[in-house]
Amino acid sequence: MSPLERLARLDRRWIFLMMGILVLIPLLWPLRMEIRPTASSKTFHRAIAAIPDGSTVLMSCDYDPGSIPEMVPMTRTAMRQLWEKNCKVVVTVLWPGGPGLVDKVIEDVALADFPGKRYGVDWVNLGYKPGNEAVMVLMGQGILTAFPNDYRGHATRSLPIMQRARTYADFPILISISAGYPGTKEWVQQVQARFHLPMVAGVTAVSAPEFFPYVQSGQLVGLLGGMAGAAEYEKLRNESGDASRGMDAQSLAHVFVALCIVLGNLVPRRRAGS
Amino acid sequence: MSLHPTPDLSVWVAAFLTLCIFSFLYRDNPFYKFAEHLFVGVSAGYYIILNFWTVLVPNLGEPLLASFQGRGVVTARDGMFAASLGDYRGWLLIPALLGLLLFTRLFGKIGWMSRWPLAVIIGVFAGLKTTGYAQGDLVAQIEGSLQPLWTGNPATTINAIIFTVGLLTSLLFFFYSREPRGAFGVVSRVGIGFLMVGFGAGYGYTVMSRVSLLIGRFQFLLGDWLGLR
Amino acid sequence: MKREVPLFLTAVIGVFMILSFFVPHQVVSVPGQFLQLTAVIVVACGYVLGGANVLRVNIDAIAKQQPGWIYKLVLVLSLLGTVAIGAIEGSQFLDPGRRSRWIYDTLYSPMSATMFALLAFFIASAAFRAFRVRTVEAGWLAAAALIVMIGRVPIGDALTGFLPPALHLSSIQEWIMNVPQNAAKRAILMGAALGVMATGLRVILGIERSYLSGED
């Protein structure tokens, strides 16, 4: 039996093992390959840098623990950039699995890097509401109607940050960090299109390609795609977070998958039933 | 590099469950089945309690109870049905009733009553999605496509031409009312080429996304659990 | 009554929601907002209904001692436990230190993340076993996939760094994403938008009635 024929009968668990090893090794012994920010990441960074200092910004973190490696680094880096500009941040989470995670992520950034930032004054987590597009449009007519209480059970009407954040017209920008539905696409369709609120987005890599048309048409003024986008954003901010540390492993895994595609086409085709 | 496993029992539990799920890669086994069913149970329970405390109580229960005393968000007005924008008081009995009707789905004979709340949801979302897609995905995209082909710069001009050719041929590929023969067939094949490039790029990004999730889990196991530094 | 009333409701509400996009007057905006709030509340009830259904199906399976009923018992106990603890802890059930928060951080979050992490292994396996280039079009797909995969990560530039910047894999993949991929995705977006609009109108006009499935 030739090597290629042997390869054709390869148990897929060997492929699983190789994938696991190739991801593990660079995490233990980093290769420190250089990360070069793309034009897309630069526009995202520039769009947030252009926000007037001290503004109140709307950020929708529509993800859950299934997308932590891609979404959390973007959220952290964006929060740091916003708080350096003294911006106040109103956060919503339209995924049911997300509010606890997002609250912890932002709280950790505050505790570690901005201990002076106070909940209810400098940021608020409005929490979760079901209803997808209906919630987005409902917020347009009155955020307090959609969210009478925040994630921590406080009446939103009583929070200092919400005194000047009642409708979309009160925000200079919407930052959408989203892992799927509901998320960036729905924000573009229901909020950017209807209320003309400028938007930037950080999305998972699997959905990033579909948002390039929105960038080209100007509906999104900046886009981060996946862990690579998050790593580029960290690089632009001179930070070294989880996304940057994961890019070496990402590189080797991609080369492995590319090899799998090439080798898979070289091995003799298996007959049906064999 | 040194090992500093965490003393936090919660992290050990999380790591154990992570490894239980990874064990599926070898083969289906009781550890994986246990973790899978635990996950489904916890998820379902969490979704129930989350929707109860974040929606049913603050958006329905509390305003409805206040309305029975004639109170609402707008304190200047009294009355159970004195509604205004953002303050619906007693009118919230309607969504309350519709929500209850949804549960008739569990009972065979009266299950047809669950169609009424479904009809409300379907009507709202059909209306929102129709206008959302029309404005966001059709009008705005057509507007964005009307770009000048000659930009003054040869590179961007070539890109604009390729983009426009790609867009038109891809759109024409989806025109199924006519057989793809002759000149139309050539146009259709060019469109397929662009679509295949699009799908290939999407596949590349999908690989990146899936691998990122694995990297995240390994970062947890190595960093938070084993404390490898 | 059983079909006509829901169809009428869908039609009236659907038309009203479309109207609310164009008419800002409070005659439209107040009922429109009320309908959106109603949808949010009913969807929340739907989640509770979904959980109740999961409970019903699995309790039934346990009672009949179907194969794997022990695991279904784990499911039912974990569901009831999560609901009970959350109900007792009140609206601040996800505050740090609460038992519900422990369930979220220690059970839900890591298992949710790991379930999706499994996909990385399967995508590699599928790339080897199922990704077959048999036609020219599939070749275009494969070429684009390989260039984007390698060009999007640092190793792409590491391998092609000796070439002029325009020929770096990262530059080529950026061009692919911004030009041909963008054109194709825009065509799909526009086509899908027409499809959604057509389906939305069919539902509102009562031509599409699949959501009314079930016996009268």
pLDDT digits (tens, 9 = 90+) for C168-199: 999 999 999 999 999 999 999 999 999 999 99
Contact list, A13 vs chain B (CB under 8 Å): 25-26
* Contact check, Cβ <8 Å, A226/B208: yes
Structure tokens at C43: 């969807």
Band of pLDDT at residue B87, cut at 50, 70 and 90: confident
3-state SS, chain C, equals CCCHHHHHHHHHHHHHHHHHHHCCCHHHHHHHHHHHHHHHHHHHHHHHHHHHHHHHHHHHHHHCCCCCHHHHHHHHHHHHHHHHHHHHHHHHCCCCCCHHHHHHHHHHHHHHHHHHHHHHHHHHHHHHHCCCCCCHHHHHHHHHHHHHHHHCCHHHHHHHCCCCHHHCHHHHHHHHHHCHHHHHHHHHHHHHHHHHHHHHHHHHCCCCCHHHCCCC
pLDDT digits (tens, 9 = 90+) for C102-116: 999 999 999 999 999
Q: What pLDDT is stored for residue C1 in this prediction?
A: 75
Contact list, A206 vs chain B (CB under 8 Å): 205-206, 209-210
Q: What percentage of chain B exceeds 70 in pLDDT?
A: 100
Band of pLDDT at residue A54, cut at 50, 70 and 90: very high
* Contact check, Cβ <8 Å, B215/A218: no
Structure tokens at C28: 């439209």
Nearest CA in chain B to A241: B219
| Domain spans in chain B, listed from the N-terminal domain onward | 148-229
Cα–Cα distances in Å, from C5 out to A110, A173, B104, B155, C97? 52, 42, 16, 59, 49
φ and ψ at residue A177, rounded to 5 degrees: -110, 105
Decide if pLDDT at C211 tops 90: no
Residue type, C72: K
Q: What pLDDT is stored for residue A274 in this prediction?
A: 45
Decide if pLDDT at B175 tops 80: yes
Distance of CA B190 to the CA centre of its chain: 33
Structure tokens at A36: 């070069």
Element (H, E) at B139: none
Band of pLDDT at residue A271, cut at 50, 70 and 90: low
φ and ψ at residue C130, rounded to 5 degrees: -120, -15
Nearest chain A Cα distance for residue C139, angstroms: 11
Decide if pLDDT at C59 tops 50: yes
* Contact check, Cβ <8 Å, B85/A257: no
Q: What does the longest C-alpha to C-alpha distance in chain A come to?
A: 76
Nearest CA in chain B to A14: B26
- The shortest CB-CB distance from A206 to any of B62, B136, B205 is to B205
Structure tokens at A126: 């409005």
Q: Report, as an integer, the average pLDDT of A51-71.
A: 96
* Contact check, Cβ <8 Å, A141/B86: yes
Q: Report, as an integer, the average pLDDT of A150-174.
A: 93
Q: What pLDDT is stored for residue A204 in this prediction?
A: 97
Q: What pLDDT is stored for residue B77 in this prediction?
A: 76
Q: What percentage of chain C exceeds 90 in pLDDT?
A: 88
Nearest chain C Cα distance for residue A192, angstroms: 13
Decide if pLDDT at C214 tops 70: no
Cα gap C128→A266, rounded to integer Å:
10
Q: Judging by beta carbons within 10 Å of its beta carbon (0-12, 13-18, 19+), is residue B29 exposed, middle or buried?
A: exposed
Q: Report, as an integer, the average pLDDT of A59-69.
A: 96
Alpha helices per DSSP H over B103-181: 115-132, 140-145, 154-173
- What SS3 state is found at A199? strand
Cα gap B66→B91, rounded to integer Å:
12
Cα gap B209→B219, rounded to integer Å:
15
Q: Report, as an integer, the average pLDDT of A194-214.
A: 96
Taking residue A240's Cβ as centre, other Cβ atoms within 10 Å add up to 12
Q: What pLDDT is stored for residue A163 in this prediction?
A: 94
Nearest chain A Cα distance for residue C213, angstroms: 22
Averaged pLDDT of chain C? 93
Decide if pLDDT at A272 tops 60: no
Decide if pLDDT at C215 tops 80: no
- What SS3 state is found at A203? strand
Would you call B213 an interface residue with chain C, using a CB distance cutoff of 8 Å?
yes
pLDDT digits (tens, 9 = 90+) for A211-232: 999 999 999 999 999 999 999 9
Q: Report, as an integer, the average pLDDT of B44-62.
A: 93
Structure tokens at B133: 């897609």
Domains of chain A in sequence order = 39-249 (3.40.50.10160)
Peptide bond into B5 cis (omega under 30): no
Decide if pLDDT at C216 tops 80: no
Element (H, E) at A175: strand A174-178
Decide if pLDDT at A112 tops 50: yes
pLDDT digits (tens, 9 = 90+) for A119-132: 999 999 999 998 89
Answer yes or no: is the ipTM higher than 0.90: yes
